Structure formats: C-alpha cells, structure tokens
Copies of this chain bind each other. A is one copy, B any other.
Amino acid sequence: MSKRFQVVGIGNALVDVLSHCDDDFLAENGIGKGVMQLIDMERAVALYDRIGPAQEVSGGSAANTIAGAAHLGGRVAYVGKVSDDQLGAIFAHDLRAQGAVYETPPAPSGNGAETGRCLVLVTPDGERSLNTYLGSSEHLSPDDIDEAMMAEAEWIFLEGYRFDGPDSHEAFARAIAATRAAGGRVALTLSDPFCIERHHHAFADMIRNDVDLLFANRAEIMAMYETDDFEAARRAAAAEVEIVACTDSENGAYIMAAGQEVHVPAIPTRVVDATGAGDLFAGAFLWGLTHGFDMETCGRMANVAASEVISHIGARPEADLRALFREHGLI
C-alpha cells in the first residue's frame, strides 16, 4: 500500500497550559487527579487566575500522536479545529513544523469560542491532571472531514475525547466511511475512563463495527468492558478488535493480535510530566506498524517513545526518537 498518508489523526486541537501544583491545590479546587475534566470558559478563567506561572505548548491527544509519528518521519496529517487567534496560530505552526499536514480551516475569531486549551497541572509525582476548555475544537463538524484526505490514509486515528461535542459522532462516521471505502483502516484511542462513561454506547458500537486497532490503558479498558478484571477486559477487547494495544503504566504494555498476547516491559524512567505518555505510545506504535515492524517491536518502540515524553515537561518528543530506537536495537 502506498497511500499519501500513513496516519491521519482526528481530535481536539488544544494548546496545553502547563503549570505545577501540589495535591492540596487539586483538592481545594475540586480537580480530579490524573484524569481529564471538561471545563467551561468561566471555570477556565477562574482556574487560570489561581494557578502559578505557566508555559504554553501545543497539545491535544491525537495531535501529540501525529506529532510523534511525524517526528519519526511518518507521512501524517491531522484534522482538528482551532480559532483564527494567536493560540490557533501556535497550534498550527507546531504541528506543521514537526512535518505533519494540517489543513483544517480555523473558526473565525471573535465568535465567542477561542482556540481550546488544556490546563495541565503537574504534581510533584509527575502525574498530570487535565482541565480542558474545548473552545472551538468542540465545533469540528462533518464538513471539516475532507473525504479525499481520508481516502489517502492507510490508517485514521480517532481520539476518544472527540466524542464530546455536538457533531462529533457524525464527523467520525464520515471519516470512517471515506477511509474504509478506500481500503484504509481505523484506530481508536479510548482516551479517558470518564469519557468512556459519557459515551459508552457510541464507543461500543464503533469498536464492534469499525475499529481495527484499539489503544487503551488499564483503567480505560476495564471501564469499556465494565469489569474489574484487567485480563478479562483485554480478552474481551481482543475478541472484537484485530489489534489491541493496552498500556499499564510502569508494568508495560500488552499487545494482542491474531490470538496472541505479547507483554512488553516499560522503560524505567523518572516521571517528570506524564502528559502525552499514551499519545506518544500510539504515535510510535502506528509508525512501527506502518513501517512493517512486528507487534512486539511496535510495542517496544511505543514504550521507548512514551518513556521519552514523560521524562520532560510537555507532551511532544524532545529527544531524537529514532536515535533512541537505535540505542534499543529496534531499528
């Protein structure tokens, strides 16, 4: 297969606003630790007033995945909505500068919705707690799905978070149909346990009918299959989806395909900022997959990429991931 794009990601286009705080601050401000909470503009402003000095870096889960695959040299594109404002320009620049194609037209500024942002609060243990103001990212519409682009994709990569939003199911349906019609395949990341609760039925339908590759972490896959038994959840997913890539933090990852399960140990790393671990895992996995590597190697590449991104602030790679793959004997 030699399509123009190896992976096209679709998700919430967000700029991360990264700041440090302690656990007390999370408790005092009703912030759930380690998960993503949606907040409105009013709450975003109030919370921003309370946090310390911050730094701004482009984020968004699927955008991080695509940036990771682009960093590795993959032919990739991204679809997600920003506004025609300064943060939108930053988001677009960073993705294009990484080598990804990004052509989604920005929403006109001044209509109330600004470019979405995610207040990322990093506690001393490196855990990140996400407070997302979706802004214009919520308004990605079916019209933003360029069917010709989808037809040029070996894989589309759908971000579970993107189920939050009025036209999101339709947009995803359109992307899936156009991709499938041209022989492409569909990957989905479950994103977050609370997101799964909000959209359980839609997720279940999509997984059963359309998903060829499922990314999830331990909490997400158990939420999806409504069980406390991690292994049972993995088996249930593997029965429905051709490839399941399931992360389990410092315990590594499980890759299930063709009736087999491979466990890939994590790379021991001091966690500075866990933001983007799952995103980069997916980005490297997809890069490996679309470059003909076997499941175990893809899983090992994914772990290396995840370990790099949690070793520093920000959710996109800073070190040369290909050099790290070479060091680990993967390429």
Contact = CB atoms under 8 A, between A and B. Distances in A.
Interface of A: 48-49, 51-58, 67, 85-87, 90, 93-95, 97-98, 114-115, 314, 316
A67 B115 CA distance: 27
A94 B55 CA distance: 9
A117 to B, nearest CB: 9
Contacts of A115: 86
24 contacts: A48-B93, A49-B93, A51-B97, A53-B58, A53-B67, A53-B93, A53-B95, A53-B97, A53-B98, A53-B316, A54-B93, A54-B94, A55-B55, A55-B56, A55-B57, A55-B314, A56-B56, A56-B57, A85-B85, A85-B86, A86-B86, A86-B87, A86-B114, A86-B115
Nearest to A15: B56
A316 to B, nearest CB: 6
A114 B90 CA distance: 14
Contacts of A55: 55-57, 314
A16 B199 CA distance: 40
A47 to B, nearest CB: 11
A10 to B, nearest CB: 20
Contacts of A114: 86
A273 to B, nearest CB: 12
Contacts of A53: 58, 67, 93-95, 97-98, 316
